[in-house]
Amino acid sequence: MTLHLSILLWLPAAAGLLGLFAGRAARWVTLAGALLALAFSIALIADFDTSAKGLQYVTDQTWIAQLGIHYKLGVDGLNLFLLVLTTLLFAASVLWSGLDRVERPGQFFFWLGLAETAVLGALLAQDLALFVVFFDLMLIPFFFLTGSWGGPGRVPAVLKLVIYTLVGSLLMLTAAIATAVLAPGQGTTFVLSELAHRTLGTGSQEWIFLCFAAAFLVKMPAFPLHGWMPDGYRAMPMPVLAVFSGVLSKVAAYGFLRIALPLFPQAAAHYQELLLLIALATILYGSVLAFTTTNTRLILGYSSMAQLGFITLGIFALRPEGAQGAVIQAVNHGLVVAPAFFICALLAARAGGSEDLRDMGGIAARAPVLAALFLIVALANLAMPGSSNFVGEFLILLGVFNAKIVISIVAFTGVVLASVYTLRLFIRSMHNRVGPNVVSRDITVSDGLVLVPLVAVILAFALYPQLALHKGEATITRSIQPAAQAAAQPQIAATP
């Protein structure tokens, strides 16, 4: 069976474009596109050949011959589950916004569709230039979505967000061009599989790696580069925030595994400790702030930051188990954070429109279904044994334990802190004293239409995490191998 990835890639944008001219039917057109993309990606999982080495369903066309840029798409164990996560969360987000009332729906759904295509493009791209194109393009739909449909203070917030994150992305642009131009060999090429054979000298590798790392760390966001996050999160409309937090940060983590480690193994080994320390700082900083802040969005935002810190930690353990844990955790976190933001919107609707934790409390009283769903999400977020998040965090910590034991010991506190801030969020909103304006009521059918499938996926994944582990194992190990070797043999890494 051949599955053309271009269809998957362009379907959401095409549906969005169609919706632009569909007037009031825009949401249904876009939803159809998003659901078809979801079905397509599920078909990919079913059809995926676990035993095959390398990329599958490859599409390879020359895009700009003069620069050696190809339109090359492919799927392997690294991006397979992130693709499904993306299509799932976007479908949920489109459905959720479709059930709500949005102003200027044509434009809203057009941007949402374009955003999905851009994210899928970044995940599918097997050409460095194509990756950069989609990675930078991702931001533009979110610029419009936040700036036009966001909450108060949206315009300054979104300008800050875009400029902050594009700073990294544009550095990456230069770095990507330098990778291709400075690589030894005949002619210029941007195709990743070719670049992997043309290893750069150590000196060039280091500055190029740092540029890439800057782009990815800003996007995540990681500790010193997270300045855009609080304002941006506060201003974004909730369904948009769910995909932004659920998917975009994962693309950054994915970028490390797809691009930075295979192409610049010596530099990755060289900066391993720096990146581990940044990840550690991110975990601790995110956890502490998630524990102290009272805005529910920001609790989830800082908690995401901490989770992304774990993912980075797993990647830069530079060991197969750590990287595998990172990939699983990326999927898990996306699955958890999107319904969490949705619940956060439901809580705000029950607390008189306030998203502040101090105005909530006692919401569980007449909302048993909401409370149950929230509890599942919360337990998954704190990596309860039995959840898939537990598997992910375990593998990550195992990898770090094998690589740098001191760092792993500090990182363990992050796990503890996760349960503290997650349970605080749950208890203070659902139980405790009833808040001043709280009107407890259970979820409606249309809320359930979005929320229940997402929670069901969390449960299914908890029961059967091997699905992702098994399909991804071979590729993840391969992508980490050069860097792992370089880390194991520092004396070789030192020579150019």
Binding site residues, other proteins, CB under 8 A: 64-67, 104, 107, 129, 132-134, 136-137, 140, 143-144, 147-148, 154-155, 158-159, 162-163, 166-167, 170-171, 173-174, 177-178, 180-182, 188
Residue 189's φ and ψ, nearest 5 degrees, are -140, 150
- What token pair was written down for 279? 């990840």
Structure token digits, residue 122: 């970044």
**CB 117 to other proteins: min, Å:** 10
Shortest Cβ distance from residue 38 to other proteins (Å)?
A: 24
Tokens 């299914």, residue located: 460
Nearest CA among 296, 289, 288, 222 for reference residue 252: 222
CB of 175 to other proteins, least distance (A): 9
Helix (H, G, I), strand (E, B) or coil at 194: helix
Euclidean distance between CA atoms 323 and 479, whole angstroms:
9
Tally the C-alpha atoms within 13 A of residue 214's C-alpha that lie toward its C-beta: 19
Task: Using the minimum distance from each CB to other proteins, give the nearer residue, 97 or 307.
Answer: 97
CB of 108 to other proteins, least distance (A): 11
Nearer residue to other proteins within complex by CB, 166 or 330: 166
- State which residue, 267 or 323, has the beta carbon closest to other proteins: 267
Residue with Cβ nearer other proteins (44 or 118): 118
237 preceded by a cis bond (ω within 30 of 0): no
Radius of gyration (C-alpha) of the chain in whole angstroms: 21
Closest approach, Cβ 127 to other proteins, in A, equals 13
Structure tokens at 314: 């797993």
Query: Tokens in use for 147?
Result: 């700036």
Q: Which is nearer to other proteins, 35 or 67 (CB)?
A: 67
Beta bridge partners of 356: 295
Tokens encoding 144: 């419009």
Nearest to 195, CA basis, from 174, 181, 213, 210: 181
CB of 164 to other proteins, least distance (A): 9
Separation between Cα atoms, residue 299 and residue 296, nearest integer Å: 5
Taking the least distance from each CB to other proteins, the nearer of 158 and 236 is 158
Q: Least distance in Å: CB of 89 to other proteins?
A: 22
Q: Report the b/e string of 388-421 with b at 16+ CB within 10 A.
A: bbbbbbbbbbbbbbebbeebbeebeebbebbeeb
**Considering beta carbons, is residue 31 or 130 the nearer one to other proteins?**
130
As measured in angstroms, the least distance from the Cβ of 148 to other proteins is: 5
Shortest Cβ distance from residue 159 to other proteins (Å)?
Answer: 6
Task: Give the tokens for residue 151.
Answer: 């909450």
Shortest Å distance, C-beta 253 to other proteins = 21
Q: Which residues pair with 61 in a beta bridge?
A: 71
Q: Which tokens sit at 296?
A: 């529910």
For other proteins, the closer CB: 132 or 458: 132
Nearer to other proteins, 171 or 454 (CB): 171
Q: How far is residue 179's CA from residue 161's CA, in Å, rounded to a whole number?
A: 27
Which residue, chain included where needed, has tokens 């007037």?
A: 23
In the bound state with other proteins, the residue whose beta carbon lies nearer, of 24 and 433, is 24
Closest distance to other proteins from the beta carbon of 62 (Å):
9
Residue 73, beta-bridge partner list: 59, 125
Rounded Cα distance between 117 and 18, Å, is 14
Strand, helix or coil for residue 356: strand
Q: What is the distance between the alpha carbons of residues 49 and 37, in angstroms, rounded to a whole number?
A: 20
Please count the other Cβ atoms lying within 10 Å of the Cβ belonging to residue 353.
Answer: 9
**Nearest to other proteins of 178, 449 (CB atom):** 178
Q: How far is the CB of 355 from other proteins (least distance, A)?
A: 22
Residue nearer to other proteins on the CB measure, 97 or 329: 97
3-class DSSP assignment, residue 110: helix
